[in-house]
Structure 1
Amino acid sequence: MLERKPLKARTQVTFVLPEDDPAGPVSVVGDFNHWNPAAHPLQSRGDGTRAVTVTLPSHSAHAFRYLASGDYWFNDEHADSHDGTNSRHHT
């Protein structure tokens, strides 16, 4: 799930997943962080979910996926769209 908070010329995008599905650590990777799995690991929010917030330029689109332990890549079913391989979000 994606949560958005508009700022002046940027948008804070929060990537949210259930706390334990999939089990183990998960990162969001995408063109906004050069597909670096260490850049944005999701952290527990204490409400049964885990999340990470990334600030991106407003009126832009980005490709992303999640990477879980065991080299398990997966898409966000609630993304704005999909390009065949990746989830896409629009700010």
Structure 2
Amino acid sequence: MAITKKFLKSKPVCKVTFSISAPEATEVVLVGDFNEWDSTTTPLKKLKNGTFKVVVDLETEKSYEYKYILDGEYVNDDEPEALIFNEYANAENSLVAL
């Protein structure tokens, strides 16, 4: 699965690991409503196997829309929990619920 969740017992936070396989990509960035769709704040680190990965702390009891930017192109998660249509973007976004 492209997303893994680790809920913290001490506070209402979940450590969410986002990962996407993109061996040919040189840069992948995570954007979503949790970072105001800012394409500079959440870059993913490329692993030797071609997977890009980042861990983000997110508040629980919420749902978040997100996308990846692969070398400048917006793409949805390969295995999202759900897809949701966003009227503002006039496109579907991936969704993670905590």
TM-score (normalizing by structure 2): 0.82
Aligned to 2:88: none
Aligned to 2:77: 76
Aligned to 2:38: 36
Quick one: distance in 2 between partners of 1:90 and 1:68?
23
Structure number with greater Rg is: 2
Partner of 1:83, secondary structure, is: strand
1:51-73 deviations in whole A, cap 9, x for unaligned? 0111001121000000121x311
The amino acid that maps onto 1:73 is: Y
Unaligned stretches of 5+ in structure 1?
none
Aligned 1:55-74 pairs, distance under 5 A:
55-69=57-71, 71-74=72-75
Aligned to 2:94: 87
Question: Is it true that 1:27 corresponds to 2:29 in the alignment?
Answer: yes
Quick one: distance in 1 between partners of 2:36 and 2:94?
15
Whether the aligned pair in 1 keeps the contact of 2:20 and 2:78 (CA below 8 Å) is no
Unaligned stretches of 5+ in structure 2?
86-91
Give identity over the alignment, percent. Answer: 29
CA RMSD of aligned residues (A): 1.5
1:25-74 deviations in whole A, cap 9, x for unaligned? 010100000000111111024454220111001121000000121x3110
